[in-house]
Structure 1
Amino acid sequence: MGFRLPGIRKSTQAASKGGEVSKGHLAVYVGEKMKRFIVPISYLNQPSFQDLLNKAEEEFGYVHPMGGLTIPCTEDVFLDIISFFA
C-alpha cells in the first residue's frame, strides 16, 4: 500500500508492456529499475520538470529505447518534484 499523488499514475501491468497512454498524458521511465509513470502533459510547462527534461536530453539525447521519455533521476527525487505540481 502507499499514497497517491493527484495527476500521476503508476502504469498497470498491461500498460507497462507498451500499452496505450491516455490522451493528454505521457509515459516517463524513472530510476534504476526504469519504473513507468504516466504523467499529464501539463507537467511539461513546469520549470522543475523542464530541468528534468534538460538532464534527460544531456544524458540520452533524443533516443529513448523504452518507448517513453527516460528521466535520469531516482524515483524518490522524481516523486518529490512532481508532488509540488498538484
Structure 2
Amino acid sequence: MGMGIIKIANAKQKLKRSITPKKNMLVGATDSPKKGHFAVYVGETNKRYVIPLSTLDHPLFRELLHWAEEEFGFDNSEGGLKIPCNEDYFEGLISLISSS
C-alpha cells in the first residue's frame, strides 16, 4: 500500500514538471495546458496529448502510469510524461475512459 502512495506522489511530481513550459519541449507544444489538464507524450514520435487531470483517477490510466514508470522511470530529464504505447491504443483508451 505504501509503495502505491509513493508511486502516485512521484507521478504527481512528474506531472507538475510536465505542465511547466520548458525550453526543450517539442515544436508546437509550447502552450501550457489549460487548468485541470496535463500533457503526455505518446508513441515513437512523442505526439503530445492534453488530457483532464480526472483521468488520473481511472484504473486503466494508472496502469499506463505503471508501464511508464517501468519503461522510463520518473526521473526523465527530457521533460514531459511519456506513455509507452502507440497512439491508436492511447486514443482508444482515452476514449474508453472518457465514456465511462
Contact 1:29 1:66 in 2 (8 A): no
Aligned-residue RMSD, C-alpha: 1.4
Match in the other structure for 2:49: 37
* TM-score between both structures, scaled by the size of structure 2: 0.66
Contact 1:28 1:68 in 2 (8 A): yes
CA deviation after TM superposition for structure 1 residue 68, in Å: 1.8
**Following superposition, which runs of at least 4 residues in structure 1 exceed 3 angstroms of deviation?**
none
Match in the other structure for 1:5: none
CA deviation after TM superposition for structure 1 residue 47, in Å: 0.6
For residues 92 and 31 of structure 2, what CA distance do their matches in structure 1 show?
26
Distance 1:39 1:66, change over 3 A: farther
* Alignment equivalent of 1:54, drawn from 66, 71, 75: 66
List runs of 5+ in structure 1 lacking aligned partners: 1-12
Flag the structure with larger Rg: 2
Contact 1:28 1:71 in 2 (8 A): yes
List runs of 5+ in structure 2 lacking aligned partners: 1-26
For residues 65 and 73 of structure 1, what CA distance do their matches in structure 2 show?
20
For residues 89 and 78 of structure 2, what CA distance do their matches in structure 1 show?
20
Task: Choose between structure 1 and 2: higher helix proportion.
Answer: 2
Between Structure 1 and Structure 2, how many residues are aligned? 72
